[in-house]
Structure 1
């Protein structure tokens, strides 16, 4: 435990140093339009984001927006048995959110993760407190994809969230053992098949009855479900999730 705590402290110090160096080398830019902005998210993009913010009424399980207040669940959740318990997302997956996440994932814009984390805490800090997770786990990439990309975007958000909220983060236990095809090119049924047995536990997770999963995008929920199923098969009682964006509900 002492070594683990020491390593976490060293990582936090290095992250702080890197953030200072990054801020000095590169001027602060808005993560949604790429223009210089000392306030992070610029005023124009902030207005656009407010239009995409997920508000009530929303699905009680996945958090997608729904049309009617008297509705409890979206179409997907009414016809799907999920392994996770509940989840929330910040924005609909439309521009400029979708373009920002693309830059975050594929063009090394790792600093965007700080802004996403700030927004998650601002909007859902009270829900995280209510869920009271023992552990944060980022949805893992397969080792080949991680090597090619150089980093896992879900880990960046998880680390920042864990650091700010003082919740342990486990990046090692849950692994993606199968190099699955990109979910965005597959149909709903193909996505479920694609993720079957994709995840596994490398070793037992830090003793945790409640886990918070972190990913960038929620579409049908198959990725979150597959990870939640593995966790629950190994003793986790409650699994929640947070994502930056989500598909349109109906």
Structure 2
């Protein structure tokens, strides 16, 4: 199992996305499949200023996935960054809130100064696989002012096709990370 997305048959090792595309990350997990009521709660968290949902989601992540995080030997968590223009418009980065809350609960440091979004990309939700990959070209950069830890955990709200997580993981590995994992609140259905 690579991303944790549901598969059609029990004996399937990989979902369609993981079997078709090379991944820069080792493995990842999500709390829930992205459908109501989870999808509507995430929408409110992300777009309706329900920042306190971040604490609730982080508590659930810790309850369900803390053992897995320790098995991965995570040294640092990195939230998927927003472009400064989008962050200014929204007022906050929901991935950063999740990472900070989870970091407090499980006592793993969070670093939001390593990975940057340097290109203001279109929202991924309206794009197909090829468009998502193209949309993310040149979108991220890694700071050379900070040492990247060996085992990194990327935190985001939603994993759909994995394009964003994969590009972020690729950049972190170019910057010196050895192993990159991810956690999200929800994951696409994948079937």
Q: Distance in 1 between matches of 2:145 and 2:157?
A: 25
Q: Secondary structure at the match of 1:178?
A: coil
Asked if 1:82 corresponds to 2:29, the answer is: no
Q: Distance in 1 between matches of 2:152 and 2:99?
A: 12
Distance 1:174 1:207, change over 3 A: closer
**What is the Cα deviation at residue 94 of structure 1?**
0.8
**What is the Cα deviation at residue 186 of structure 1?**
0.9
- The runs of at least 4 aligned residues of structure 1 exceeding 4 Å deviation read none
* 1:197–1:226 contact (8 Å) kept in structure 2: no
* 1:89–1:244 contact (8 Å) kept in structure 2: yes
Partner of residue 186 from structure 1, selected from 127, 147, 172:
127
Q: Distance in 1 between matches of 2:61 and 2:3?
A: 16
Q: Secondary structure at the match of 1:81?
A: coil
Partner of residue 58 from structure 2, selected from 92, 111, 117:
117
Which residue is equivalent to 2:104?
163
**What is the Cα deviation at residue 173 of structure 1?**
1.6
Task: Tell me the number of residue pairs that the alignment of Structure 1 and Structure 2 aligns.
Answer: 191
**What is the Cα deviation at residue 207 of structure 1?**
4.2
Q: TM-score w.r.t. structure 2 length?
A: 0.97
Q: TM-score w.r.t. structure 1 length?
A: 0.75
**What is the Cα deviation at residue 92 of structure 1?**
1.0
Structure richer in helix, relative to its length: 1
Which residue is equivalent to 2:93?
152
Q: Secondary structure at the match of 1:169?
A: coil
**What is the Cα deviation at residue 206 of structure 1?**
3.7
Partner of residue 199 from structure 1, selected from 140, 149, 165:
140
Q: Distance in 1 between matches of 2:52 and 2:147?
A: 28
**What is the Cα deviation at residue 65 of structure 1?**
0.9
Q: Secondary structure at the match of 1:61?
A: coil
- List per-residue Cα deviations over 1:107-150 (Å, max 9, x = no partner): 11000011101111111111001011111000000000000111
Which residue is equivalent to 1:213?
154
Distance 1:204 1:73, change over 3 A: farther
Higher Cα Rg: structure 1 or 2? 1
More displaced 10-residue stretch of structure 1: 111-120 or 67-76:
67-76
Unmatched 5+ stretches in structure 2:
none
* 2:59–2:105 contact (8 Å) kept in structure 1: no
Q: Distance in 1 between matches of 2:167 and 2:96?
A: 18
Please provide the CA RMSD for this pair: 1.0
Which residue is equivalent to 1:235?
176
Q: Secondary structure at the match of 2:39?
A: helix
Which residue is equivalent to 2:35?
94
